[in-house]
Structure 1
Amino acid sequence: MKKFINRVDDYLTESLAGFAAAHADLVTVSFDPLYIVRKAPKPGKVAIVSGGGSGHEPLHGGFVGHGMLDAACPGQVFTSPTPDQMMAAAQAADTGAGVLFIVKNYSGDLMNFEMASELCEMPNASVLVNDDVAVENSSFTTGRRGVAGTVIVEKLVGSFAETGADLQACRTFGERVTARIASMGVAFSSCTVPAAGRPTFTLGDDEIEIGVGIHGEPGRRRAKFETANAIADELLAAIVDDLKPAADAPLLLLVNGLGGTPLSELYLLYNSARTWLDGRGLSVARSHVGALTTSLEMAGASITLCALDDEMMRHWDSPVHTAGLRWGM
């Protein structure tokens, strides 16, 4: 295992110490219990809190700041944060209007966020993200997994909360957003969790995993290596079949790198995806290309489509200022 690392046991805390120092203008990091909170909370605003296992950066901590999250709870690599982290983050972020938890559909996250929700004294609600169309169930989930579409939910709901919307309105909007998102990924290689010291799975030199999860969970099938056009065709066929966007729906197209894929390849995949959608009369109104929901150093990518409406488009375009996303400020 070759990684920038001192001691495996210190991997997360040292990484977060660097993150805190690099972005001291945006966030404060608590190390006991472990959470990241917005440096300048907005009084009277619903606090948007998310979290999950580390290893997917910039998700979630990289999206704490104006227009997105008010706090994030990083667990150990690919491991859910604990209820005490979630409660502490919620308490630190709450300014009197309650807390909305954004939760990816993984068994550990569901159980721990539910426990935290029951123990929190402030009003709170949750939105579940389950955008992965690859499989209905896996060893990590009951139902569909939450993957890169989480970024879109955090951006849109975070912006919506900035307008002063109340807790129930934020929850309702978040549920509307999640229902309009679908994703699917492909892996060219595995990743190595520091504590394990070896690859999570093995692919042959000519093999890819179609529908891989962000923790290395198996997808729909293991296939021979294919062209970018062929990969985009398979991913988008499944996504569009699930999402069933109206012909005139403005789409947000997100091409997300899994950690080990050069940006030039992600733009090439975007070109393949855009050509596929254009050829079927589907309109891309907004785009984003980059590594937003990663799987350590895994080579590969995912494609996400969100069927926008006018309100959602305004909230995508609205100002955001975080370590991982910033525009309009």
Structure 2
Amino acid sequence: MKKIINDPSTVVEESLRGVALAHGDILKVRTDPAVVYRADAPVTGKVAIISGGGSGHEPMHGGFVGLGMLDAACPGAVFTSPTPDQVQAAVEHVNGGAGVLLIVKNYTGDVLNFETAAEFAAAEGLEVRTVVIDDDVAVKDSLYTAGRRGVGGTTLLEKIVGSAAEGGYSLDEVEALARRVIGSVRSMGVALTACTVPHVGEPSFVLADDEIEIGIGIHGEPGRRRVPHQPADQLVRTLLEPILDDLPFSSGDRVLLFTNSMGGTPLVELYLAHGIAERLLAERGITVERRLVGPYVTSLEMQGMSLSVLKVDDEMLRWWDAPVRTAALRWGA
């Protein structure tokens, strides 16, 4: 294992210190329990948006903390759910008096720990709502979930809902919008290589030189099947068709297309794949209204990619376009 680390047991804590130094104008970090939160938190009168999950997927979630997106993120150990006390601490830091929305990816530990924290907050008289995103069409169940996994669509959800909260939406309005986005986004990924979790020290799975894993999860969970490596045209089609068939998407739809690197895939390949995806969507009469391309939901150094397609309307586009200023996403602010 070759990684730029000192001790596998301190990777997350040391990384968070670096995040705080690099982006101190946008966010603050506490390490016990670990929470990343807006530098100007709490924002009085604003619905607070909180998410989180295991580390190793950066910039998700800490890189999305800031104006127009998340008020706080709870980073667990690598590929490990954050604890209820982290979520409680996040609520304490960012609650501005208008309620709190928790965005949770559908992984068993995440769901249980966020629900526990929400119950504690409710017992203290705080109004907390929870939404669970499960956009991965690859599998019904996995090693980590009951039902579909939450993957790349989470980034789109956090941006749209975060900006709506910044724009003055009430807790009811923010929750309703979040549920509409969750119902309108689908994703699927592929791995060309495995990643190595620092405290494990060896790849999470083994692929032959000519094999790829279709439908991989962001923790290295198995997907639909292993197949021989494919040319880009075929590979993008393999990912996109199950996404479009699932909702289903149809001619005349307007969408946001998110082409995501799993960490080790360079932009030259990612843009190539994105261009293919846009062409395939156009062939179906689907209009790409907005785009996002880059490594935003990663799996350490895994080579691979995912596609997320969100069926958009004018309200979603309004909040997608709204100003955002975070470590990873910045426009209009």
TM tier, smaller: over 0.9
Amino acid at match of 1:40: D
Matched, 1:285 2:286: no
Alpha-carbon contact 1:249-1:309 (below 8 Å) kept: no
For the residues of structure 1 that align with 2:61 and 2:182, how far apart are their CA atoms? 17
For the residues of structure 2 that align with 1:317 and 1:270, how far apart are their CA atoms? 20
For the residues of structure 2 that align with 1:265 and 1:320, how far apart are their CA atoms? 27
Give RMSD over aligned pairs. 0.7
Q: How far off its partner does 1:182 sit?
A: 0.1
Q: Over residues 167-206 of structure 1, what are the superposed CA-to-partner deviations in whole Å (9 max), with x where a residue is unaligned?
A: 1211111001110000000000000000000000000000
Q: How far off its partner does 1:7 sit?
A: 1.1
Task: Give the structure-2-normalised TM-score.
Answer: 0.98
Q: How far off its partner does 1:97 sit?
A: 0.7
Q: Which residue of 2 aligns with 1:326?
A: 330
Alpha-carbon contact 1:258-1:298 (below 8 Å) kept: yes
2:163 alignment partner, one of 130, 153, 159: 159
Q: How far off its partner does 1:220 sit?
A: 0.5
2:208 alignment partner, one of 198, 204, 207: 204
- Report percent identity of matched pairs: 55
Amino acid at match of 1:182: R
For the residues of structure 2 that align with 1:182 and 1:35, how far apart are their CA atoms? 29
For the residues of structure 2 that align with 1:306 and 1:43, how far apart are their CA atoms? 31
Q: Which residue of 2 aligns with 1:33?
A: 33
Spell out structure 1 runs of 4+ moving beyond 6 A: none
Amino acid at match of 2:195: C
Name the count of aligned residue pairs: 329
2:221 alignment partner, one of 193, 208, 217: 217
Task: Give the structure-1-normalised TM-score.
Answer: 0.99
Q: Which residue of 2 aligns with 1:98?
A: 99
Alpha-carbon contact 1:189-1:300 (below 8 Å) kept: yes
Q: Which residue of 1 aligns with 2:86?
A: 85
For the residues of structure 1 that align with 2:118 and 2:285, how far apart are their CA atoms? 43
Q: Which residue of 2 aligns with 1:169?
A: 173
For the residues of structure 2 that align with 1:284 and 1:30, how far apart are their CA atoms? 39
Look up the SS of the partner of 1:19 in the other structure.
helix
Superposition pairs of residues 185-200 of structure 1, within 5 angstroms: 185-200=189-204
Look up the SS of the partner of 1:100 in the other structure.
strand
For the residues of structure 2 that align with 1:311 and 1:13, how far apart are their CA atoms? 38
Q: Which residue of 1 aligns with 2:54?
A: 53
Superposition pairs of residues 133-282 of structure 1, within 5 angstroms: 133-282=137-286
For the residues of structure 2 that align with 1:280 and 1:166, how far apart are their CA atoms? 37
For the residues of structure 1 that align with 2:53 and 2:67, how far apart are their CA atoms? 20
Q: How far off its partner does 1:139 sit?
A: 1.0
Amino acid at match of 1:139: L
Amino acid at match of 1:44: G
Segments of 5+ residues of structure 2 without an aligned counterpart are none
Look up the SS of the partner of 2:187 in the other structure.
strand
Q: How far off its partner does 1:163 sit?
A: 1.6
Q: How far off its partner does 1:96 sit?
A: 0.6
Alpha-carbon contact 1:188-1:298 (below 8 Å) kept: yes
Alpha-carbon contact 2:27-2:36 (below 8 Å) kept: yes
For the residues of structure 1 that align with 2:236 and 2:76, how far apart are their CA atoms? 32
